[in-house]
Amino acid sequence: MTSFTILVLVIVLLGLAYVSHFNSIHEVRGEEQKEEVLHNFPFEWKGKTYWYSPSMAVAMFATCFDKNGVLHILANKRGEGCPDFNGCWNAPCGYLDFGETLKAAAIRETKEECGIVIPEDKVNWWTYEDTFKFNNNVVHRFIALLDGTIDDYQFNTSGMEENEVSDVAWIKLDDVDNYKWAFNHKELVKQVLSKNI
């Protein structure tokens, strides 16, 4: 096993311990149930101290008009290599790498999952979610309105992880309900395409 594989296994095991511990800490007083907040905790690996804590994720809601002036959103279908929501659609999304800004992560994930490079000056922070509904993540969302039309952009998924994405598409508002979506992206996509942001 490589050092990276061992590190991933350690993090996964600590994550399982965290979830198990968090779910088991309940204090019931009458009908009221209170959960204790479990703070970040350290673990040792190769002589260094690391901290287990919630992960930082990003999502890019990139839009572009077609030649008829209809707004579309860039989305990808999750492949068999994804840990969850296989076969569902989402806006390009993923985790922040070490030393990376949130905006840079959103741009990188879009390139990796769709093959489209979005200029930094087109990307704007939109909102975030820290409800921890999805994998104990804090998710920062970005929006971008691309120049030209959707025909100006060619999909290229050659730089992505194996089986991470099975399809990429520009989707218009009228078609959003025809797709099965991951996370809460269906509602968010509708907000963006309805210009309700």
55-109 pLDDT per residue, tens: 899 999 999 999 999 999 999 999 999 989 999 999 999 999 988 999 999 999 9
Give the model confidence (pLDDT) of 109-148 as tens digits: 999 999 999 999 999 999 999 887 777 789 999 999 999 9
Q: Report d(CA 50, CA 88) in Å as an integer.
A: 33
β 48-52/55-65 pair status: unpaired
- Cβ atoms < 10 Å from Cβ of 167: 13
pTM of the full predicted structure?
0.76
Residue type, 147: D
The residue assigned the tokens 């489209």 is: 116
Q: What are phi and psi of 130, to 5 degrees?
A: -130, 35
DSSP bridge partners of 145: 63
Separation between Cα atoms, residue 185 and residue 84, nearest integer Å: 14
Beta bridge partners of 142: 60, 125
User: In this structure, are residues 138 and 55 in contact, taking their beta carbons and an 8 Å threshold?
Assistant: yes
In this prediction, residue 192 carries a pLDDT of 94
Residue 177 DSSP class = G
Q: Please give the domain boundaries of the chain with CATH numbers for all domains.
A: 3-52 (no CATH), 55-193 (3.90.79.10)
Instruction: List, for residues 43-58, the tens digit of each pLDDT value.
Output: 788 888 777 777 899 9
Structure confidence by residue, pLDDT tens digits, 153-190: 999 877 777 899 999 999 999 999 999 999 999 999 99
pLDDT in tens, 17-46: 444 444 433 333 344 444 555 667 777 888
